[in-house]
Amino acid sequence: MAGLHIAMLAPISWRVPPRHYGPWEWVTSLLTEGLVALGVDVTLFATGDSVTAAKLHAVCPRPYSENPEVDAKVCECLHISEVFEHAREFDIIHNQFDFLPLTYSRLVHTPLLTTIHGFSSPKILPVYEKYNDNSYYVSISNADRNPNLDYIATIYHGIPVADYPFCNDPDDYLLFLGRIHPDKGTHEAIKVAQRAGARLIIAGIVQDEKYFEEMVAPYVNGDQIRYIGPVGMPEKGELLGRARALLHLIAFDEPFGLSVVEAMACGTPVVAIERGSMRELIGDAKTGFLVANSDEAANKVHSIDRIDRGTCRAWVEEHFTQQRMVEEYLRVYRMILEQEGTHGKS
């Protein structure tokens, strides 16, 4: 869209793109770079160490999760206020930051589009409900939609599939990839590996120290159960591709699940608890298995080699590409501008 000016408001817990962990920051990066590649004028409001082909606007030099000397709330307030103080320079402000920027939306005339990356708690819903009538919401899965909110679209995250090496000859290990937290089911993955008599590699940041020390660390022995910490590309692609299966044994309603799509892009099937978005991401018995509990998951591990790894790759190429995501957001931008009648403001 020639002449379109987008302000992309990123989170600042991590850099854009993140070095290791940071799913919201990563999706923001993929969308930003995809838009710029299509000729869209994007200003990325992110940390000063972010890497982008867009115009970078930063008031916080480094991510607060990597800089314990700063106050996270102060950084967030300075960061969010900055984009709204420049609102008249843009056709649309695209909020990837969560609910707080909504509280500024009635103070400016520039339309605000918010990608809702999930609801951390029911306690934040009143903010979304208050600004439902003057903001635009995108959900990242149909399962994550709240019935009290209006949505302009559901847009699945997309990844650069070519960056993920396809592997049709995996090793014999299972993989857990994600934050170490009860919601993500790290301990359940350990139990499944033990019951299936399989090796398990655990990769990701420790988000819950107590859970890690009590439910994960005692089982890590460097042999059957290994913990290797967070991984970034290209190591992540190699780790995913060589796995027999990804275990995604969640204990919450997953809004999306990027690691699920990443695994399938490498040809690796996924065994997942059927909660949240999992049925939208995984073709049951085609690109993995949807299960009700860890006992069923252990049984399905023995059948995982029946899944055609080429089908997993093709599934992602059809449904979860970066290009498709960028094009769908462009369509939403057009819809907003048509409704607002604001495109081409001076």
Residue 52, both tokens: 């982008």
Q: Distance between CA 326 and CA 132 in Å, rounded?
A: 24
Span 323-345, average pLDDT: 87
The reported pLDDT for the residue numbered 3 is 85
Same domain (yes/no): 223, 233: yes
In terms of pTM, does the model score above 0.75?
Answer: yes
What pairs with residue 114 in β-bridges?
A: 95, 137
pLDDT per position as a tens digit, 31-71: 999 999 999 999 999 999 999 999 999 999 999 999 888 99
- Counted domains in the chain: 2
Same domain (yes/no): 123, 248: no
The reported pLDDT for the residue numbered 298 is 96
Same domain (yes/no): 99, 165: no
Same domain (yes/no): 154, 224: no
The reported pLDDT for the residue numbered 343 is 46
The domain that holds 152 is classified in CATH as 3.40.50.2000
pLDDT per position as a tens digit, 267-309: 999 999 999 999 999 999 999 999 999 999 999 999 999 999 9
Extended strands (E) in 230-326 = 245-248, 270-273, 288-291
The reported pLDDT for the residue numbered 301 is 97
Span 139-164, average pLDDT: 98
Q: Distance between CA 286 and CA 314 in Å, rounded?
A: 11
**Is pLDDT at 164 greater than 60 in this prediction?**
yes
Kind and range of the H or E run holding 248 = strand 245-248
Residue 43, both tokens: 């200003």
pLDDT per position as a tens digit, 198-254: 999 999 999 999 999 999 999 999 889 999 999 988 999 999 999 999 999 999 999
Same domain (yes/no): 151, 250: no
Q: Which residue has the tokens 């790290």?
A: 186
Q: Is residue 345 part of a domain?
A: no
**Is pLDDT at 345 greater than 50 in this prediction?**
no
Same domain (yes/no): 65, 170: no
pLDDT band, very low/low/confident/very high, at 2 (cuts 50, 70, 90) = low
Span 75-79, average pLDDT: 96
Q: Distance between CA 218 and CA 6 in Å, rounded?
A: 48
The range of the structural domain enclosing residue 27 comes to 5-158+321-340
Report the percentage of the chain scoring pLDDT > 90. 93
The reported pLDDT for the residue numbered 346 is 30
Report the percentage of the chain scoring pLDDT > 70. 98
Same domain (yes/no): 202, 109: no
Span 101-111, average pLDDT: 97
pLDDT band, very low/low/confident/very high, at 1 (cuts 50, 70, 90) = low
Q: Is residue 86 part of a domain?
A: yes
